[in-house]
Amino acid sequence: MAMRDTAIVAYSEVKTVQKSDRDVWEIGAEILEDLLNKTGMEKGEIDGLCLSSSTTGAGNCFWSQTTADQLALEVDFCQTVDIGGCSPTGALARAAVAIDAGLCETVLCLFTDTAVRESGQRQRHYQQEWTAPLGLLGPPTSFGFITSRYEHQFGLDYRMLGKLAVAQRNGAVLNDLACEKLRTPITIDDYINSRMIADPIRLLDSVMPCDGGSGLIVTSRKNAEKKGYKNAVFPIGYGEKTSFQFSENIVDVTDTGHMPAGAKAFKQAGLTANDIGSFHPYDDFIIAMMIQLEMLGFCKKGQGCDFIREHDFNFGGDLPLNTGGGQISVGQVGLAGGGTNLVEAVRQLFGEGGNRQVKNTKNALVTGIGGIPYNRNWNTSVVMVLTPNG
């Protein structure tokens, strides 16, 4: 696959906050300048712009254009990716494809959202007609269904979900960029005793809406070599699936699009789950990570709790997981939140994890989840394998 002929040569992230006192474009400008400093590039070398979804920008159907205008970027490729929580990793994949196809050479992938400060969203989907009238809050309710069903089919040890929550919180305590409110340690009992949102979904299963942003500079492998960057990370496998099994009315909600997307990504990378150095799964809810462990082949279906019991997910453990805290303990940066785990994976592979650096930097696995459909799990699943060695 040719996606591996592109390189991530820099990453940037601002502090996640409960409500930004700055405009979304000011956050974008800060990320741009940081990336120029880190790469030594001039602004004119950036000839592509690929944005994640943004709640703030959602009312503007010219979002990528307008952002290119605000940042004064003259580009040959300009796009907003609108697959929800998958859109940061999806944007990286599309940037790589655009570079490989010769549309451009160097892309700023920008994942910013100030959903709390300013929402521009006016949703148009099935929910107004079919679920809002039932008092369905959205994602927590849908994950309540998924969790009830999982428990019915396989049994569920909630303390194991709590173990993942604690590991992520340990990461956030070490992460200066995590939302301050979330940087206090928790115990498994804290998780179990946290109040119900949509029983059996608890408060500590869930993300807190926040503002912030992150970004990447992606360029051709050739250009990265020419410029002699010390650090580079390559996407060596990618899979994406939207509307998994949507031609059927009734599906097993514990099967997800990560199964086919993961198989594709691993095949391209020539790796399996056993080879993964650190895992950075999309975490809108704790159980989503456990189901991903099953779908991606870390363990068999229905055995997620046993797998969690047997492994250590802290940065020094045998399977480091969302070492910066994940979205649940960093705060969810609106529709750009998928950037949090993606950038953490790149940071770890650059060896810049600092007080939470993982030992195994051979590769990292990043995923995304996007969209909440009717009577199933989610709309889009993405899986990407990253490596520093190409």
Partner 1 sequence: MVTVNDTLNIERSAPAARSFSQPYWDGTKQKKLLVQFDKSVGKYQWLPRATSRFTGRKSVLEWREVKGEGEVYSFTLVYRARPPFQGKEPFFIAMVTLPEGVQIMGNTVGITKEDMKIGLKVKPYWHPLPDGCHMLMWQKA
- Is residue 155 part of the contact set for partner 1 (CB under 8 A)? no
Q: Which of 141, 242, 357, 360 binds partner 1 (CB under 8 A)?
A: 141
- Is residue 184 part of the contact set for partner 1 (CB under 8 A)? no
Stretch near partner 1 under the rule CB under 8 A, chosen from 77-85, 113-121, 195-203, 211-219: 195-203
Stretch near partner 1 under the rule CB under 8 A, chosen from 90-98, 122-130, 163-171, 211-219: 122-130
Choose among 331, 342, 322: nearest CA to 238.
342
- Is residue 193 part of the contact set for partner 1 (CB under 8 A)? no
Stretch near partner 1 under the rule CB under 8 A, chosen from 156-164, 232-240, 246-254, 262-270: 246-254
**Phi, psi of 323, deg, nearest 5:** -65, -20
- Is residue 171 part of the contact set for partner 1 (CB under 8 A)? no
Choose among 293, 348, 4: nearest CA to 150.
293
Residue type present at position 198: A
Stretch near partner 1 under the rule CB under 8 A, chosen from 132-140, 229-237, 264-272, 355-363: 132-140
User: What is residue 3's DSSP assignment?
Assistant: G
- Is residue 187 part of the contact set for partner 1 (CB under 8 A)? no
Q: Which of 200, 213, 235, 338 binds partner 1 (CB under 8 A)?
A: 200
- Toward partner 1, which CB reaches closer, 119 or 141? 141
Q: For residues 139 and 56, give the distance between their C-alpha atoms in angstroms, rounded to a whole number.
A: 19
Structure tokens at 338: 């998928």
- Is residue 250 part of the contact set for partner 1 (CB under 8 A)? yes
CB of 132 to partner 1, least distance (A): 8
Total Cβ atoms within 10 A of residue 309: 12
Q: Could you tell me where the DSSP H helices lie in 250-303?
A: 258-269, 286-295
- Is residue 62 part of the contact set for partner 1 (CB under 8 A)? no
| Cis status of the peptide bond prior to 88, with omega within 30 of 0 | no
Structure tokens at 189: 């009992």
241 forms bridges with which residues in the sheet? 381
- Is residue 247 part of the contact set for partner 1 (CB under 8 A)? yes
- Is residue 201 part of the contact set for partner 1 (CB under 8 A)? yes
Q: Which of 42, 61, 134, 228 binds partner 1 (CB under 8 A)?
A: 134
Going by their DSSP bridges, the two strands 48-51 and 106-113 should be labelled as parallel
- Whether the CB-CB separation of 274 and 126 falls below 8 Å is answered with no
Q: Kindly list the residues in this chain that would bind partner 1 in the complex (CB under 8 A).
A: 126, 128-137, 140-141, 144-149, 152, 195-201, 246-250, 253, 374-375
